[in-house]
Amino acid sequence: MRWTPGERSRNLEDRRAFGGRGVMVGGGIGLGGLLVLVALSLLTGRDFVGPVTQGAPSSQVAEPGQLETTPEEEKLVDFVSFVLDDAQATWAKVFSSMGRQYEDAHLVLFRDAVESACGVAQSATGPFYCPLDRKVYIDLGFYRELQERFGAEGGDFAQAYVITHELGHHVQNLLGIASEVRQAQESRPRQANQLSVAMELQADCLAGVWGHSTAQRKILDQGDVEEALNAAAAIGDDRIQRMTRGSVAPDSFTHGSSEQRVTWFRRGLESGDVNACDTFGQGR
């Protein structure tokens, strides 16, 4: 991609110096448990999160240590900052064309572990979006894992795809799609995985919508699209399952197959249209 480092985004929170210290919250309940409570709170209108976090052993206040970094990592932080601002500027325009107002998400950089409003997450969780605090969380080490463990080729557009996929979840949250899906999963539990796949594939398509805007502005280099498509294929459920357990169980998919992820990212990339990203059909 053609980009120029500038002032780092006001929506970027750098917690790398904390290195995972002081992340116990709510008596030790983790990200998965709090996400369940978040879903129940949104569905019922009752606050299930407060009783867990209030009066329980709260997060230990930790002082940041000395940040050990490299010029290469700082360049990556600059790129993440650029993508964050560029993607959100794009979504502000898209929302405006829809008669809506876009609200910025924040992006948190961390190492090892992090405390979010949705609970505690380890780096192994991978990048994620928390709807409670409207923040994207990423350990930059994930990019190395994407290459070394999942075999994705390197490249800045592939790295941008990861960020804009998570921002796609923010868009879903702002549009009310996320709450609709949670309600559907509650009322139709047998379709929970199917709905999760549709949610993730839509986030892939929404990442493609941003990619379309970069192509229109001619800031892509030759090979950029192939990098992103390769990254999408590398983290398909079928490929990950085959790598980790030697077999594939489509009924347990939560993010979609490699082919599905590539297909939907490409659809957003080619159309640049949010309306082309209806991965649910009649299922929602």
Mind listing the pLDDT tens digit for each residue in 136-156? Answer: 999 999 888 877 665 555 678
Higher pLDDT, 210 or 40: 210
Under 8 Å between Cβ of 181 and 202: no
Judge whether residue 44 has pLDDT over 70.
no
User: Nearest CA to 221 among 39, 1, 15?
Assistant: 1
What pLDDT score does 236 carry? Answer: 76
Number of other residues whose CB lies within 10 A of the CB of residue 176: 9
What pLDDT score does 150 carry? Answer: 56
Beta bridge partners of 14: 109
pLDDT band for position 4 (50/70/90)? confident
Q: Residue 277 gets which letter from DSSP?
A: G
What pLDDT score does 96 carry? Answer: 98
Contacts of 232 (CB under 8 A, 6+ apart): 161, 204, 258, 261, 262, 265
What DSSP string runs through 183-233?
A: HHHHH-GGGHHHHHHHHHHHHHHHHHHHHHHHHHTT-PPTTHHHHHHHHHH
What pLDDT score does 239 carry? Answer: 65
Helix (H) or strand (E) holding 115: strand 113-116
Mind listing the pLDDT tens digit for each residue in 213-224? Answer: 999 999 988 888
pLDDT band for position 275 (50/70/90)? very high
Contacts of 54 (CB under 8 A, 6+ apart): none
* Mean pLDDT of the region 32-58: 44
Query: What are the structural domains, with CATH classification, of the chain?
Result: 12-277 (3.40.390)
Judge whether residue 40 has pLDDT over 70.
no
CA within 13 Å, CB half, 111 = 14
Mind listing the pLDDT tens digit for each residue in 105-134? Answer: 999 999 999 999 999 998 888 899 999 999
